[in-house]
Amino acid sequence: MTTSHDEQVRDESARVKIFDTTLRDGEQAPGITLNTREKLEIAHQLRRLGVDVMEAGFPITSPGDFEAVREIAREVEGVTIAGLARANEKDVTRAGEAVRESPLGRIHTFIATSDIHMTHKLRMDRAKVLAAAVDAVRLARSIVDDVEFSCEDATRSDVTFVAEVVAGAIENGATTINIPDTVGYTMPVEFHAFLTELRRLCPSLDDVTLSVHCHNDLGLAVANSLAGVLAGARQVEGCVNGIGERAGNASIEEVAMILRTRAEDLGGLWCNLDTTEITRASRLVSRLTGYVVQPNKAIVGRNAFAHEAGIHQHGVLANPLTYEIMDATSVGLAQNSIVLGKHSGRHALAHALTDLGYELGKDELNAAFARFKDVADRKGAISAADIEALVSDEMRTEGVDGYVLEETAVSTGGGAAPHATVTVVDPDGEKHRGEGDGDGPVNALMQAIDEAIGTHGTLLEYHVSAVTGGHDALGEARVVCDIDGRTFSGQGVSPDVLEASAIAYLRAVNASRRAEEADVTDQGV
């Protein structure tokens, strides 16, 4: 008997929860540094997207990360807010403090179970690892009702030992057990067999939620996640756009669209994501992290629904199903008709922002309106995509104790090297002026900024793109720089591409200053 989609949705046993770790594992990608305001905006979009759990951060790593997790726990309702913690008292207690104001707070604690990790990283034997896991879960459960436990590097571990540790965690209060493929080493057939054997060895797994967390080092994160749910997992962990450490995590939008597109072939498995919010989530995360989505990325790449070959174009015009297995509107690609101009008032902007899903306070609206009027005077018509870019760009400066660009000037031509002058304002309001010559105008701007504030950065990557089409499109610049031996990224938006580039570099400098806070080297899972 064939079951309808609506009937499948009502079958809770077939529901796959989506655990989003964009704000934790995603932010661990090289060069990403998000401030609290940026994290909050992403968190609100994740709520609109419909994720079941969002891992808001790793509270022990720094005061800034703790504050971001706490603010998200306070402000974002209707979704479980998790904080990551290693299996020790200090980490678990700190995570509990960060999530305690959420009615759905979760502590996610972990410890490695593979021999290579236990020997070379933890320097602990199996008995000590088991004891640490049990103690951490017991403490976490005394703080919150929702506890997740992960066996780091599980897929390179002895499945018998993993079963022993998992059984101990469940006995002491873990409500979710996560099996990560931490280094992206396993393959779908292996992972399915591992989870099947683990469930046989540990029958108590049937009483809790089994979760999978797969990395993409061999390009198999989504395939392994799918193998996991077919083996009985009912939570999948991943990130928007598949960002994350090294090659990234499973892409949650790909998982969601597989479940939607192939539901009948997957026995009615389903998830609660509002797929029409996928594109907006993808664009927001890309802008705020500075990680550009590759054009041929499944679901959210700009080529995902583009057809160049004549035979494809003809087929799609005749019937979209000839070459499209998904409707573009199902992932939120419908055109937004919002267009504002330089004569549009504050009320019109506020209405447009509400339509786009932004919830701004009075001060935030005032700042957005001032930026809007400045750009409208220089650009003319402002589209929905422009508004999104401007608002997300404004988030990068709000509440950040850093330098702000006031003026730039660049001269080129005549056979002379490009020359730039800049004026920047420090956190105390003092102005600093710098000049620089370079191989090109962007390099000259960097040299001028370095002279103004006494830094030294080396450009590693530079990307510039148009937010929308047309001769007056906003320019969006992204830089990746080496500053004092560490990698930082910055983004800037302006009608002037060189100004956007200078803003981007200055934000990378500000990110390097914020990163001077204490770091925890073991990021885990």
On whether both 170 and 273 belong to a single domain, the answer is yes
Can you tell me the mean pLDDT for 158-179? 98
CATH code at 241?
A: 3.20.20.70
Q: Is the pLDDT of residue 334 over 70?
A: no
Element containing residue 53 per DSSP (H, E): strand 53-57
For residue 313, the model assigns a pLDDT of 45
Alpha-carbon distance of 166 to 125, in angstroms, equals: 16
The verdict on residue 309 lying in a domain is: no
For residue 6, the model assigns a pLDDT of 47
On whether both 409 and 390 belong to a single domain, the answer is no
Predicted TM-score of the model (pTM): 0.82
- pLDDT band with cut points at 50, 70 and 90 for residue 100: very high
On whether both 468 and 369 belong to a single domain, the answer is no
CB atoms within 10 A of CB 354: 11
Residue 326's beta-bridge partner residues?
Answer: none
Q: Is the pLDDT of residue 3 over 60?
A: no
Can you tell me the mean pLDDT for 29-40? 86
Side chain identity at residue 359, one-letter code: E
Can you tell me the mean pLDDT for 363-392? 77
The verdict on residue 424 lying in a domain is: yes
Domain stop point among 255, 289, 323: 289
The verdict on residue 354 lying in a domain is: yes
**Contact (CB, 8 A) for 368 and 394:** yes
Q: Is the pLDDT of residue 319 over 70?
A: no
For residue 333, the model assigns a pLDDT of 73
For residue 9, the model assigns a pLDDT of 44
**Contact (CB, 8 A) for 239 and 249:** yes
Element containing residue 90 per DSSP (H, E): helix 89-99
Q: Is the pLDDT of residue 310 over 60?
A: no
* Between residues 340 and 504, the one the model is more confident about: 504
For residue 323, the model assigns a pLDDT of 47
Top-confidence range, 9-13, 97-101, 414-418, 472-476: 97-101
Alpha-carbon distance of 458 to 442, in angstroms, equals: 12
The verdict on residue 220 lying in a domain is: yes
* Between residues 149 and 403, the one the model is more confident about: 149
For residue 487, the model assigns a pLDDT of 86
* Between residues 362 and 226, the one the model is more confident about: 226
The verdict on residue 268 lying in a domain is: yes
The verdict on residue 521 lying in a domain is: no
- pLDDT band with cut points at 50, 70 and 90 for residue 397: low
On whether both 410 and 379 belong to a single domain, the answer is no
The verdict on residue 489 lying in a domain is: yes
Q: Is the pLDDT of residue 8 over 90?
A: no
On whether both 147 and 228 belong to a single domain, the answer is yes
Q: Is the pLDDT of residue 517 over 60?
A: no
- pLDDT band with cut points at 50, 70 and 90 for residue 321: low
On whether both 23 and 151 belong to a single domain, the answer is yes
For residue 330, the model assigns a pLDDT of 81
CATH code at 476?
A: 3.30.160.270
For residue 275, the model assigns a pLDDT of 94
Query: What range does the domain containing 90 cover?
Result: 12-289
Can you tell me the mean pLDDT for 309-322? 50
On whether both 477 and 426 belong to a single domain, the answer is yes
On whether both 114 and 160 belong to a single domain, the answer is yes
> Which two tokens mark 510?
């500000």
Q: Is the pLDDT of residue 220 over 50?
A: yes
Domain stop point among 375, 395, 415: 395
What percentage of the chain exceeds 70 in pLDDT?
88
Element containing residue 475 per DSSP (H, E): strand 475-483
Alpha-carbon distance of 83 to 63, in angstroms, equals: 14
* Between residues 290 and 21, the one the model is more confident about: 21
On whether both 226 and 374 belong to a single domain, the answer is no
- pLDDT band with cut points at 50, 70 and 90 for residue 352: confident
Domain stop point among 272, 289, 306: 289
For residue 519, the model assigns a pLDDT of 54
- pLDDT band with cut points at 50, 70 and 90 for residue 402: confident
On whether both 86 and 216 belong to a single domain, the answer is yes
User: Could you tell me which of 96, 146, 87, 144 has the C-alpha nearest to residue 121?
Assistant: 87
For residue 324, the model assigns a pLDDT of 53
Cβ neighbors of 314 (< 8 A, separation 6 or more) are none
On whether both 481 and 430 belong to a single domain, the answer is yes
For residue 326, the model assigns a pLDDT of 67
**Contact (CB, 8 A) for 391 and 354:** no
For residue 515, the model assigns a pLDDT of 74
On whether both 73 and 181 belong to a single domain, the answer is yes
Q: Is the pLDDT of residue 396 over 70?
A: no
Provide the domain count of the chain.
3
Q: Is the pLDDT of residue 209 over 60?
A: yes
pLDDT in tens, 127-138: 999 999 999 999
The verdict on residue 492 lying in a domain is: yes
Mean pLDDT of the chain: 88
User: Could you tell me which of 247, 250, 242 has the C-alpha nearest to residue 226?
Assistant: 250
